[in-house]
Amino acid sequence: NPIVLDIAYNSIEFPSLENRM
């Protein structure tokens, strides 16, 4: 089967820290 890209990994994001700094 063709290789599937790990798009879930790419979509995992850090929380915004804008109001914590």
Partner 1 sequence: SLEDLFSSLHSHIQNYEYKQAAKVADQVLAIAPGDEDAVRCKVVALIKSDAIDKTLSAIQAFEGLPIDLRFYKAYCLYRKNKINEALKLLDGLERDPMVLQLESQILYRLGRMGACMESYEKIQKFKIDSLDLKTNIIAALISAG
Q: How far is the CB of 10 from partner 1 (least distance, A)?
A: 7
For residue 11, CA distances in Å to 2, 14, 18, 20 come to: 21, 10, 19, 22
Distance separating alpha carbons of residues 13 and 7, to the nearest angstrom: 12
Contact flag: residue 14 with K ion (CB under 5 A): no
Contact flag: residue 9 with K ion (CB under 5 A): yes
Nearer to K ion, 9 or 14 (CB): 9
Q: How far is the CB of 6 from K ion (least distance, A)?
A: 4
Give the residue ranges of DSSP H helices in 1-21: 7-11
Which chain residues interact with partner 1 by CB under 8 A? 1-15, 17, 20-21
